[in-house]
């Protein structure tokens, strides 16, 4: 695969149609009008292509600034994200994403990844890469981190984010992973991160998202992963 982060405004109509088709292959309740409206709100898009140039994965990002504890906190919010099944297990998406956004973050004193997760595979990127992230079974979320989570999630989903649970509890039909895409069985539940995800977001199969945060700081990344990602 080959990939790059480009301005969202530079994404072609053909690529947007290919992205929607790819999402529809793995998600139920997809609506193209909703997809395009969400895409129009994003600033950047990472596109993965196969050797023939076809879109085989992508993730969209929105740069944000929110107020928390009387200060402005900067970060990037990840929107729609998918990789074709044929490329599951490959790290190109993570590597390109990390190299771009860790470099981008250098212009700020602190810069965060604002992430929402409706599937355990997305959530498990955090413990795979970051030594420090929230929420996690490993530690209570520090109050200052929780206030940042609440600020960005409330800004994005003011009517549906529940600060008591940390979950975006959608009141309308929401896209959700198709059966068989990210099933959780007893074997997977032996993984403490997956078990925590299910506990913290019990209605994830309905498309509910848990709000998460990690800092773009090399000291917060596991050394082995920092070397692998080239950051």
Alpha-carbon dihedral sign for residues 186, 189, 195, 197: negative
Say what the pLDDT of residue 183 is.
65
Tens of pLDDT, residues 181-221: 656 777 888 999 999 999 999 999 888 999 999 999 988 99
In this prediction, residues 34-38 reach a mean pLDDT of: 93
Say what the pLDDT of residue 141 is.
98
Say what the pLDDT of residue 157 is.
96
Question: Could you give the CA distance from residue 149 to residue 213 in angstroms, rounded to a whole number?
Answer: 7
Domains of the chain with bracketed CATH = 2-229 (3.40.630.30)
Question: Could you give the CA distance from residue 39 to residue 66 in angstroms, rounded to a whole number?
Answer: 20
In this prediction, residues 112-119 reach a mean pLDDT of: 95
pLDDT for residue 180 is more than 70: no
Question: Could you give the CA distance from residue 60 to residue 166 in angstroms, rounded to a whole number?
Answer: 22
Tens of pLDDT, residues 46-99: 999 999 999 999 999 999 999 999 999 999 999 989 999 888 878 899 999 999
pLDDT for residue 179 is more than 90: no
Say what the pLDDT of residue 205 is.
86
């Amino acid at each position: 695969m080959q990939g790059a982060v480009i301005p969202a405004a530079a994404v072609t109509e053909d690529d947007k149609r290919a992205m929607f088709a790819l999402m529809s292959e793995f998600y139920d309740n997809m609506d193209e009008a909703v997809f395009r409206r969400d895409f129009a709100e994003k600033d950047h898009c990472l596109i993965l292509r196969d050797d023939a140039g076809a879109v085989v994965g992508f993730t969209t990002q929105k740069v944000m600034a929110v107020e928390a504890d009387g200060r402005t906190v900067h970060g990037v919010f990840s929107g729609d994200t998918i990789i074709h099944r044929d490329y599951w297990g490959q790290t190109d998406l993570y590597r390109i994403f990390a190299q771009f956004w860790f470099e981008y973050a250098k212009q700020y004193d602190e810069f965060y990844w604002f992430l929402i997760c409706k599937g355990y595979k997305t959530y498990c990127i955090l413990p795979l890469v970051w030594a420090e992230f929230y929420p996690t079974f490993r530690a209570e979320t520090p109050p200052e981190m929780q206030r940042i989570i609440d600020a960005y999630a409330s800004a994005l989903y003011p009517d549906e984010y529940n600060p008591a649970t940390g979950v975006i509890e959608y009141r309308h039909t929401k896209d959700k992973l198709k059966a068989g895409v990210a099933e959780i069985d007893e074997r997977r539940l032996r993984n403490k991160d997956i078990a925590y995800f299910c506990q913290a977001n019990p209605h994830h199969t309905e498309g509910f998202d848990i709000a998460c945060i990690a800092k773009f700081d090399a000291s917060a990344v596991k050394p082995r992963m920092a070397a692998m990602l080239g950051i």
